A = this chain, B = another copy of it.
């Protein structure tokens, strides 16, 4: 049972077992990871994934105007790229022409080692913004990285992409489609700060041996991203490097899936939702300095968009988040955040529930602070906001704001 399973609801039926970790790649993929010392010492910091035969690919990227060089490199290659090189340490963002040149140079060096064309190499980076890649360290490691490629090693790859993460975030799903096809999906992600994904989040990589086209993958990835990665926030800061890549090898011998609304695609989508939601919640759980995972569920807003505004404003309020951290039943801060969200509601028609505790009724204290404190002591719970305006509903998942968040972030670069 997944730890945070009660914090979300997957509306899609699917047949799959999902396990944490799992080292074996889906059929048709190889993986490797290595230490380059480009920034971190004695730590895996460069990873590579390679499809033996490419079937389909898609990706979503940050909507931040300041997109990193590897995103500018990869954005037009996701439906042809069959290898992904990822470094941790330097984000290669705001590095200008040099950053783009580094991308080209890496792809040109790596492609022949893999028997690929330059435009078949995708790139992703994470780390400090504004600092050029340690191109020598990375380039000189490529040979060994390629030599290490194998069927196993997914967990090492998931470790190699970490920066301030304290835990690896990786899952393997073994599934069966309605038509009887057995398949595998591996998914991993990194991220714990600068998290308020808008389109993609941090870095995530999803690999399957299903025969599914780029078009179908694009449709599924975009829809599920909106419901999962785009609904979490740690600090409201959208990164320059957010990217989610999905790739299929087509190594499973069956009909190709090209209609995102087919029974097979929907079953696969259910697995995708499950994997992406788990990775998203794992990121919230591993939030820099975070001690809580809180679902903010808003129901009864005028529109889903207004529900989203209210939920996000609560989820990003420093005063609410410090109260979560302090396990302080200070519901007035929640109302104050709602009131500046830009969404309309009647302050006297607000109910708040903390899990099953009826905390606030008709906008007023309901005398339940002691029960509320018990919920606030848990390491995950749901804050439900009920309004009486309409049918707008939205969930956002957030962390608390702790002393450690400030400690970690007051000296990340220097």
Q: Give me the interface of A with B, judged by CB distance under 8 Å.
A: 63-67, 91, 93-96, 128-131, 193-194, 196, 198, 235-240, 316-319, 322-323, 325-326, 328-333, 335-340, 344-345, 347-348, 360, 362-365, 369, 373, 401-403, 405-407, 409-414
Say how far A349's CB is from chain B's closest CB, in angstroms: 11
Say how far A203's CB is from chain B's closest CB, in angstroms: 15
What is the copy number of this chain in the assembly?
A: 2
Chain B residue at minimum C-beta to C-beta distance from A194:
B319
Asked whether A237 lies within 8 Å of B323 as measured between CB atoms, the reply is no
Say how far A169's CB is from chain B's closest CB, in angstroms: 21
Given contacts A237-B333, A328-B411, A336-B129, contact A363 B65 (CB under 8 A): no
Cα–Cα distance between A294 and B66 once the two chains are bound (Å): 23
Asked whether B318 lies within 8 Å of A64 as measured between CB atoms, the reply is no
> Hey, which chain B residues are within 8 Å of A340, CB to CB?
63-65, 196, 198, 237-238
Q: 15 pairs across A/B with beta carbons < 8 Å? A: A93-B332, A130-B360, A131-B332, A194-B333, A198-B340, A236-B318, A237-B333, A237-B336, A237-B337, A240-B339, A319-B409, A328-B412, A328-B413, A403-B403, A405-B406
Say how far A134's CB is from chain B's closest CB, in angstroms: 15
Given contacts A235-B319, A237-B340, contact A328 B410 (CB under 8 A): yes
> Hey, which chain B residues are within 8 Å of A365, CB to CB?
94, 130-131
> Hey, which chain B residues are within 8 Å of A405, CB to CB?
318, 322, 406
Asked whether A318 lies within 8 Å of B129 as measured between CB atoms, the reply is no
Asked whether A129 lies within 8 Å of B94 as measured between CB atoms, the reply is no
Asked whether A412 lies within 8 Å of B330 as measured between CB atoms, the reply is yes
Asked whether B363 lies within 8 Å of A94 as measured between CB atoms, the reply is yes
Of residues A196, A405, A409, A412, which shows the largest number of chain B Cβ atoms within 10 Å of its Cβ?
A409
Partner of A95, one of B64, B95, B364: B364
Given contacts A365-B131, A413-B330, contact A66 B237 (CB under 8 A): no
> Hey, which chain B residues are within 8 Å of A318, CB to CB?
235-237, 318, 401, 405, 409
Asked whether A94 lies within 8 Å of B364 as measured between CB atoms, the reply is yes
Say how far A360's CB is from chain B's closest CB, in angstroms: 8
> Hey, which chain B residues are within 8 Å of A345, CB to CB?
65
Asked whether A336 lies within 8 Å of B66 as measured between CB atoms, the reply is yes
Asked whether B336 lies within 8 Å of A240 as measured between CB atoms, the reply is yes
Say how far A103's CB is from chain B's closest CB, in angstroms: 16
Asked whether A335 lies within 8 Å of B128 as measured between CB atoms, the reply is no
Cα–Cα distance between A194 and B128 once the two chains are bound (Å): 30
Asked whether B236 lies within 8 Å of A317 as measured between CB atoms, the reply is yes
> Hey, which chain B residues are within 8 Å of A414, CB to CB?
326, 328-330, 369, 373
The 4 closest A-B pairs by CB, nearest first: A129-B332, A326-B410, A66-B339, A322-B409
> Hey, which chain B residues are within 8 Å of A196, CB to CB?
340
Given contacts A96-B348, A193-B319, A413-B330, contact A335 B129 (CB under 8 A): yes
> Hey, which chain B residues are within 8 Å of A411, CB to CB?
326, 328
> Hey, which chain B residues are within 8 Å of A238, CB to CB?
336, 339-340
Chain B residue at minimum C-beta to C-beta distance from A289:
B406
Asked whether B335 lies within 8 Å of A237 as measured between CB atoms, the reply is no
Chain B residue at minimum C-beta to C-beta distance from A413:
B330
